[in-house]
Chain A
């Protein structure tokens, strides 16, 4: 009997961009509290991967007392396997700008920045044209809000919110200690809302259709839709907007090539799920659901049985070793030693039990690294080593 499944395709993000003037005009007629409550009741969570409730972020910044506040759109999309933010910025830039302006209205920020990664510099010109037209509209309607692009220069770590702010302030992109959180003291020590590109577009959907429509999509704890960047061993790589909460098995039925051995959910800093666990894994934010629920910034990479998981892990670790900012020792030295360690095991210079030592090292990194980069190396490392131990050794 054929397996019946349903992936719920949706189409909000890339639709109705022309509505932006209307959406902006009607939204800023509402009181800021009303807009915040709308966002909170939609249960929208950050789409960059960390999943912080967006409404709460806006609320905290709105409540903070300061002269200068900022809105930052995080377009430093560096996670291996993610490419949705580029697509959003090139196809529906006005939605992003509208969401930023509403955020400015709600929080009292007059300045917005788009931190665009250096690899996407080719977008800058088109985006600047959109910003110019947007400014013109703001001027006509007496809306005091300006957006500027800040170009990155090739550093994965700058996607971390505080590292991004350090970078914007002209320094090395090294993450800060938290607290204080950006909502209290962010860019130039002003209260700052920093949202992923996709999160901002979802707020636009909520302004356009209301919180209920958004809330009705997805499952408990994981409301709404999400853009997925599908790549690897799949006959149809690309970008797909799907409802959250689907099972990984359904995803593989739709996108697999019939020989899918494992799926990396959430990029190099996410988890690798082997075939036998597809059925028990759902895609969404962690909650009290049955089984495992994995969050993702959208990166879904499929591997078929021709791939060596050792090579995959080796590639990730090389990536982390290069992209670690080097500020804290657990991450800087940890990434180097993990890479040396798995190579030594593969060459037979270290016994297989050395893998356990390396796993303990990732645990230490998880507890002691300063930011998400060092903390999340453990995710892919342990999920690959534990599920594909033989491939690491032989």
Chain B
């Protein structure tokens, strides 16, 4: 068994093989692999006996279930109204400037993916962003440099 197969099998053993377990299984794969490749979706379909088209259809509905290759750290900057008003664009510029990627891109070393996302629920501390599951609020360009340097050091 290759790593994806055994990952999917492990998750299906843990959560079950009924349809209600599909989301937890897919979330588990994304947690490990950062995204759902076509191969892993077919593997999930096989393991859980669900049509592959259904797995694909469900996966593509949810914005946190990536179906494109993504880096080790996925940065999601909130773009909804309050964050937009409180300087989201400056935050994006500083991230783009530091990592040399645009929104939707991944750094060549596969460490960072930059995305925009809808309301994160931190409007009183805008602007806000997520890096994987970690939340960062009250962002300023200076804070961005500090946070990202930490991640760059961490991932070496």
Contacts and interface: CB of A to CB of B under 8 A. Distances in A.
A331 interface: no
Contacts of A303: 85
Nearest to B120: A119
A173 interface: yes
B82 A232 contact: yes
Interface stretch (B1-9, B20-28, B96-104, B148-156): B20-28
Contacts of B63: 153-155
Contacts of B95: none
Interface string A190-225: 000000000000000000000000000000000000
Contacts, number: 120
A80 B88 CA distance: 15
A231 B82 CA distance: 7
Interface in B19-68: 19-24, 26-27, 54, 57-58, 61-65
Given A170-B19, A170-B21, A170-B23, A230 B124 contact: yes
B27 A86 contact: no
Nearest to B31: A121
Contacts of B58: 170-172
Interface in A105-158: 117-122, 150-156
B118 interface: yes
A169 B135 contact: no
A81 B24 contact: no
Interface string B55-96: 001100111110000000000000111101100000000000
Interface string A147-191: 000111111100000000001111111000000000000001000
A365 interface: no
Given A155-B63, A170-B58, A322-B118, A81 B82 contact: yes
Nearest to B57: A172
B126 interface: yes
A78 B118 contact: yes
B23 A167 contact: yes
B134 interface: yes
Q: What is the interface residue range for chain A against chain B? A: 35 or more
Contact of B64 (A153, A156, A169): A153
Contacts of B126: 231
A81 B19 contact: no
Given A155-B63, A232-B85, A239-B124, A122 B119 contact: no
A167 B61 CA distance: 10
Nearest to A124: B133
B120 to A, nearest CB: 5
B123 A315 contact: no
Q: Contact residue range for chain B?
A: 35 or more
A79 B62 CA distance: 16
B24 A171 contact: no
B27 A151 contact: yes
Contacts of A344: none
Given A78-B119, A155-B61, A319-B119, A231 B80 contact: no
Contacts of B124: 83, 229-231, 237-239
A82 interface: yes
B81 A118 contact: no
Interface in B107-156: 117-126, 130, 133-135
A313 to B, nearest CB: 10
Given A122-B133, A231-B82, A155 B21 contact: no
Nearest to B122: A83
B129 to A, nearest CB: 11
A285 interface: no
Nearest to B50: A170
A379 B76 CA distance: 28
Given A77-B121, A169-B19, 16 more contacts: A80-B82, A80-B123, A82-B121, A83-B121, A118-B64, A119-B117, A151-B24, A153-B23, A167-B23, A168-B23, A171-B54, A173-B61, A231-B126, A268-B80, A303-B85, A319-B118
12 contacts: A80-B80, A82-B121, A119-B117, A153-B65, A154-B64, A173-B61, A188-B20, A232-B82, A237-B123, A307-B85, A315-B84, A319-B118
Interface of B: 18-24, 26-27, 54, 57-58, 61-65, 79-82, 84-85, 117-126, 130, 133-135
- Interface pairs A-B: 9 shortest CB-CB: A170-B22, A154-B64, A231-B123, A237-B124, A153-B62, A154-B63, A170-B19, A172-B61, A153-B64
